[in-house]
Structure 1
Amino acid sequence: MLQHVLEATLRQTMQRLVRPLLTPAVPVRVQRILTRQAYRSSIPPRGCHFEQNSIAGVPVTRTRYGSAQTAPSGQVILYLHGGGYIIGSATTHRGITGHLARASGALVVTPDYRLAPEHVFPAALDDALAVYRGLIGEGFPPAAIAVAGDSAGGGLTLALAMRLRDENLPLPGSLVVFSPWTDLSHSQLYRPDCEPVLQAEWIEKAARLYCGNEARSNPLISPVFGDLSGLPPLLIQVGSQEILLNDATRLAETAKQQNVDTTLEIYNSLWHVFQVHAGQLSRATRAIETAGKHIRRHMPL
């Protein structure tokens, strides 16, 4: 009963405080400031340790759960944050990466990849690739690396895996995407009765700023239009109350048709990247735990 009340309260909070920020009328620089404040409610678990440095010239935050003696040394998650490629950072996503570190037992590395409109496609993808190669250079075997991301970071996760495959570079052990943004042409947006977070006008502006002169059908921008064959095992989580629901279901259908080991989980009555409420909302906590199990299952012992 208490969880039901909490879920309703969080939904109203997203509708009243977050959704109004994500509108084309609010300048991007202001959105960045305000979303940093909004994400303060996404709290990492106690026992998390954060270290800021860089890999291949890209600023990153390394997140560990537990003491230095028990923190992992041989397994890592490259986490690509969301924010429509125009907002968000490793700092805003400390809550979700902290819970993922605890659930997986792995080190989580979150790059502050370059954002649009200052840096258009493929800047974010180039940064993700540089950090992935940097992790291998640090001694992490590719099979011991998982790549995960939410929203735009989910699309970027898939784009990175496709680029690695196409450039004949070693692939990670698994992929995890939360509410992935996989079709920036918005050709089949879902229309839920309730959408607590996203506005179609906002993601349209974000897509325009990120893509620049590049076609939105480019598979490295909209992975749902790409060849997904040969990609690592993929876990997709999405809420039923979000306009990106079809992005997730179409991705799952395409991946399965192309023989990718794919699991799709739809969480009824939950919203875009509800996993940010892990530690508060039990279903969000369980979703992160499921992601951690998926990652552990596909990592070498």
Structure 2
Amino acid sequence: MFQPLLEAGLRQTMSRLVRPILSPRVPVALQRRLIRQAYRSSTPPRGCRFEHDTLADIPVLRTRASNAGTGIVLYLHGGAFMIGSPDTHRGLTGHLAKASECEIVTPDYRLAPEHPFPAALEDAHDVYLALIAEGVAPEQIALAGDSAGAGLCVALAMHLRDRGEPLPASLTLFSPWADLTQKQLYSPEREPVIQQAWTDKAARLYAGAEALDHPLISIVYGDFRSLPPMLIQVGSEEILLNDAVRLKDAAERDGVLARLEIYNSLWHVFQVHAGQLDRATDAIRTAADHIRSHLKG
């Protein structure tokens, strides 16, 4: 009985407190401050250690649980390329670190509108190569991310492949934002988190001078051949449900192993509630299983 009540309470919290922040009428600087406060309710498990570091002159947050092994997860946070940071995602990355037994490295990549495309991709690319330069084998690196960060994971994998650079072991994608043209958004009966007007503005700010259907901006229009296996998780109560479905279809079209999990009656990046909401905790465990199953060496 407790879990359904908790789920309903969290949905109301997202709808009443988070959704109003994510509005084109709220200045981006204010959104950043407010979302930091909103994420305070997403807490890591006990025993996690956090260390601020730099890789390739880019700030990163290293997250380790007490059971950390040898794998690395390069985690790219969400926030429509405008807001969010490694610190806002401590709860999610902490639970992923514990479940996967991996160290999580989260870059504080540059954000729009100050730094439009390709700044975020360049930063993610530089951190990935810096990990390899430290001696981490590519087959011991997994990419993971949520929302815009999930799309950025796929763009990074495409970019690495096109440059002939070594690919990571797998991709784990929470509520991926795959099409910034917004052409085929889903229309759920209720959407507790995202407003389309907000993502419309964010897409334009991030793309800058580039077309919104650029394949490294809207990954659903890209070439998926030879990319690593991917796990996609999405809630049924989010306008990005179709993005997740189309992403899976595009990956399978190009011969990439892709698994899609739709969580009924849950919302955008519900995994931030891991440790509180049982279904979010279970989703993190499934993601961790996917990550571990593809790490080699």
Give the TM bin, normalised by the shorter chain.
over 0.9
Unaligned runs of 5+ in 1: none
Unaligned runs of 5+ in 2: none
* Match of residue 216, structure 2, among 177, 201, 220: 220
- Is residue 2:68 matched to residue 1:71? yes
Q: Which runs of 4+ in 1 moved over 2 A?
A: none
- Is residue 2:288 matched to residue 1:292? yes
1:224-263 map, 5 Å:
224-263=220-259
1:41-52 map, 5 Å:
41-52=41-52
1:264-283 map, 5 Å:
264-283=260-279
Cα deviation for residue 122 of structure 1 reads 0.1
Residue aligning to 2:18 = 18
Confirm or deny: 8 A CA contact 2:80 2:203 kept in the other structure.
yes
Where 1:171 maps in the other structure, the secondary structure is coil
2:167 maps to a residue whose letter is L
1:61-210 map, 5 Å:
61-66=61-66, 70-72=67-69, 74-210=70-206
Equivalent-residue separation in structure 2 for 1:175 and 1:187 (angstroms): 24
Cα deviation for residue 71 of structure 1 reads 3.0
1:71 maps to a residue whose letter is A
Confirm or deny: 8 A CA contact 2:144 2:153 kept in the other structure.
yes
Cα deviation, 1:9-45, whole Å, max 9, x if unaligned, reads: 0000000000000001100000000000000000000
Where 1:88 maps in the other structure, the secondary structure is coil
TM superposition score normalised by structure 2:
0.99
Equivalent-residue separation in structure 2 for 1:163 and 1:300 (angstroms): 22
Cα deviation, 1:183-221, whole Å, max 9, x if unaligned, reads: 000000000000000000000010111011100110100
1:153 maps to a residue whose letter is G
What is the percentage of aligned positions where both structures have the same residue? 64
Where 1:155 maps in the other structure, the secondary structure is helix
2:291 maps to a residue whose letter is I
Equivalent-residue separation in structure 2 for 1:265 and 1:208 (angstroms): 29
- Is residue 2:40 matched to residue 1:40? yes
Equivalent-residue separation in structure 2 for 1:5 and 1:71 (angstroms): 34
Tell me how large the CA RMSD over aligned residues is. 0.6
1:253 maps to a residue whose letter is D
Where 2:23 maps in the other structure, the secondary structure is coil
Cα deviation, 1:150-179, whole Å, max 9, x if unaligned, reads: 000000000000000000000000000000
Where 1:21 maps in the other structure, the secondary structure is coil
Equivalent-residue separation in structure 2 for 1:71 and 1:237 (angstroms): 24
